[in-house]
Amino acid sequence: MKETILSRMVILTLIAVLISSVASVIVVYNAHLDRTSLELRADAEFIMALVEENSPVLRLMKLEALQRNDHTRLTIIAPDGRVLYDNWANASEMENHADRKEVVLALEQGEAEVGRLSATLDRHILYFALLMDDGNVVRFAKETESIPSTLYQMLSLIVLLIIGITLVAFWLGDRMANAIITPINGLNLDDPLGNDVYAELSPLLLRINSQNKGLRKHMVELQRQQERFQTITTYLAEGLILLDHSARIVYMNSSAHSILGSPGSEISEFIGRSLLTFNRDPELRRSVEQGLGGYTDQSMLTIGGKHYELLVSPIAGEHEKTQGVIIILVDVTEKQESERMRKEFSANVSHELRTPLTAISSLAEVLKNDLVSPADVPEFAGRIHDEAQRLSKLVDDILKLSRLDERVDMAEKEKVDLYHLIKEVKARLEPLAAAKNVEFVLAGQSAEVMGDPGILFEMIYNLCDNAIKYSGEDGGKVEVSCLREGDKVVLKVADNGQGIPAQHHERIFERFYRVDKSHSRATGGTGLGLAIVKHAAAYHGASIHLQSQEGVGTTITLEF
């Protein structure tokens, strides 16, 4: 803006100076012309007075005396145009002047004044012609300056004038521009109406104030939307990553960072970096390249022993050109594990049900065909009864697990004293403990939790039953304690049995999983006891902790 003001002011000044200079030249030229005309007429009167005072001979002598007058040229012209006399040239050599304007006008009007370019001298001449009594024309002439020559003579002065005025105009323009711009630069655009400046700026300031209000409203809305987006994506269980067209990370939520990030790193360390520089999984690279190519893709990733469903979708920009991709990582480890367990469960159920059914069928067929002596019938009938009981127990356990899984037909939770339930379980299992020569010890205090008494009883019974069965053969000991620790109720069941190898710790709560299948078969277990414990604990919001060492024993802790 300042440069515009300065340049326009200088241009206007130059135009004004040029116009003024030309006008001055014209004025000076006209003044010079008027002065020359006056001088010419004065010279003519003086010369005519001298000529008319004396006789013709004396006149001729005086005319001869004026012959080389440097200021005024005198020419006598006959009515037919012949030059009779000229004090600057040889009259006989001069051309006919009958067509000269001043001569024509003098013959018609008696006198004439004309300014023109001389055909013989090639100069600008002012002519004054008088008609004499004898019919001849006396013409007086003086050289004058033309406008171009006058302008040329004044050129140096005009140039100096232009330079001086331009410098002054530049200085004044700079000060004027500063005087105009400084208040504008000092405007407080956050509060346009609070500025006290030129009245001409009021409409602009009103518009800025209106736009500021609109911008502030939009900014608040954008901030609110950004916070909402940040909140949603931050606590989103699925990993969310936004990449630009070069596969650089634009955004990553905490779930994606926990999946892909290294321990101790921050999300900010990944922003702006290419996703493929710190994760070179071929499947991830292939999916990202598919997305950048404008295609959606779905695949599976395995990271740190967990399985993730990878969803990649392109972000289309102008002219359908891909501007980036959206990546969603969904943890499907539990889903896949559930699917694996479901398949295993189906296979195990088929196997576990088939075993007693096959035994019952075989024994019944033997009895039916009278292939057993009467003395052995009770034994065969007892074995059929045992297998039927085992089958019934298996079906009961499967139904219990199904109820816990589906959480249907569940009783309303109520206050239950765990210590009292443990006493009931102890009373039920004491004959089994005595038969195995296992000491059953109960310790602790009354502690209430909210739950289903039947499910809690089943859970404690299974834990204690397992502990007794897998305790030492001679002098085994099972310790059960129930204590309140702060806001928690802690239930512990410990035995001094054979313990569980470390490689089995993560799987002993799975359905039908057995560490020692031969021993489990001998103890008559269904392989569902600890699975029921796990699901019952989950139903009551309790956590399970396992501590076991081979040859030392096992401790299972439940925290409510």
More confident residue, 481 or 68: 481
DSSP character string of 486-509: TTEEEEEEEE-SS---GGGTTTTT
The span from the CA of 163 to the CA of 89, in Å, is: 46
Helix (H, G, I), strand (E, B) or coil at 20: helix
User: What is the average pLDDT across 232-238?
Assistant: 73
Burial of 459 (0-12, 13-18, 19+ CB in 10 A): buried
Q: Write down how long the chain is.
A: 560
What confidence score (pLDDT) does residue 57 get? 47
What confidence score (pLDDT) does residue 492 get? 92
Q: In the beta sheet, which residues pair with residue 76?
A: 85, 138
Confidence band of 103 (pLDDT split at 50, 70, 90): confident
CA distances from 100 to 4, 104, 107, 239, 311 (A): 56, 6, 11, 108, 106
What confidence score (pLDDT) does residue 90 get? 84
**Domains of the chain in sequence order:** 2-152 (3.30.450.20), 236-331 (3.30.450.20), 336-406 (1.10.287.130), 414-559 (3.30.565.10)
CA 416 vs. chain centroid, Å, equals: 57
DSSP character string of 314-343: EEE-GGG-EEEEEEEEEE-HHHHHHHHHHH
Mean pLDDT taken over the chain: 78
What confidence score (pLDDT) does residue 245 get? 85
What confidence score (pLDDT) does residue 354 get? 66
What confidence score (pLDDT) does residue 273 get? 84
Share of the chain above pLDDT 90, in %: 3
User: What is the average pLDDT across 135-148?
Assistant: 78
Q: What is the C-alpha R_g of the chain?
A: 62
CA within 13 Å, CB half, 191: 3
Kindly give the pairing relationship between strand 553-559 and strand 543-549. antiparallel
pLDDT digits (tens, 9 = 90+) for 502-544: 777 777 777 666 666 554 444 555 667 788 788 888 888 889 9
What confidence score (pLDDT) does residue 284 get? 84
Q: Are 294 and 322 in contact (CB under 8 A)?
A: yes
The span from the CA of 449 to the CA of 447, in Å, is: 7
What confidence score (pLDDT) does residue 454 get? 83
More confident residue, 332 or 522: 332
User: What is the average pLDDT across 343-353?
Assistant: 63
The span from the CA of 247 to the CA of 325, in Å, is: 8
What confidence score (pLDDT) does residue 470 get? 81
More confident residue, 309 or 185: 309
What confidence score (pLDDT) does residue 559 get? 92
Share of the chain above pLDDT 70, in %: 76
Kindly give the pairing relationship between strand 239-244 and strand 249-252. antiparallel
What is the value of pTM for the model shown? 0.41
What confidence score (pLDDT) does residue 435 get? 84
Q: How many CB atoms lie within 10 A of CB 506?
A: 10
Burial of 496 (0-12, 13-18, 19+ CB in 10 A): buried
pLDDT digits (tens, 9 = 90+) for 25-73: 777 777 777 777 777 777 777 667 655 655 454 455 555 555 445 567 8
More confident residue, 221 or 195: 221
What confidence score (pLDDT) does residue 251 get? 85
Q: What residue spans of 235-332 are helical by DSSP H?
A: 254-260, 275-278, 282-292
User: What is the average pLDDT across 307-325?
Assistant: 82
Confidence band of 219 (pLDDT split at 50, 70, 90): confident
What confidence score (pLDDT) does residue 490 get? 92
Give me the phi and psi of 356, to 5 degrees please: -70, -35
User: What is the average pLDDT across 443-466?
Assistant: 87
The span from the CA of 262 to the CA of 270, in Å, is: 10
Helices 453-469, 418-435: inter-axial angle, 10-degree rounding: 30
CA 273 vs. chain centroid, Å, equals: 15
User: Tokens at residue 450, please?
Assistant: 């909210």
